[in-house]
Amino acid sequence: MDGKEGHIAVIGCRKCGKCNHVCLRGALYMVDGVVRVDYGLCTMCMACTRICPNKALIYIE
């Protein structure tokens, strides 16, 4: 994806941890088992949205 036109939203994280180490920039972190996104580090590579089995990480324009 080119540019940062939107952001990744976390909606309904079920604490499965599948996204734990998928982000090469370290933009994902956990708070009480729920994933959070550091938007300063996120490059919108979308790796987290592809790996989430619950579709809790979604791209919002």
Q: Residue 43 sits in a domain of what CATH number?
A: 3.30.70.20
Averaged pLDDT for residues 36-41: 96
Compute the average pLDDT of residues 43-52.
Answer: 96
**Predicted model pTM:** 0.83
- Is residue 16 one of the residues assigned to a domain? yes
Residue 1 in any domain: the answer is: no
3-class secondary-structure state, position 9: strand
Q: For residue 45, what are the contacts with CB-CB under 8 A and spacing of at least 6?
A: 1, 23, 24, 25
Confidence band for 3, pLDDT divided at 50, 70 and 90? low
Provide the number of structural domains found in the chain: 1
Q: Does residue 36 form part of some domain?
A: yes
> Does 39 reside within a domain?
yes
Q: Which domain holds residue 26?
A: 7-60
In a domain, 2, yes or no: no
Q: Is residue 29 part of a domain?
A: yes
Residues 18-21: contacts with CB under 8 Å, at least 24 apart = 18/51, 18/52, 18/53, 19/48, 19/51, 19/52, 19/57
Contacts of 9 (CB under 8 A, 6+ apart): 57, 58, 59, 60
- Residue 38 in domain: yes
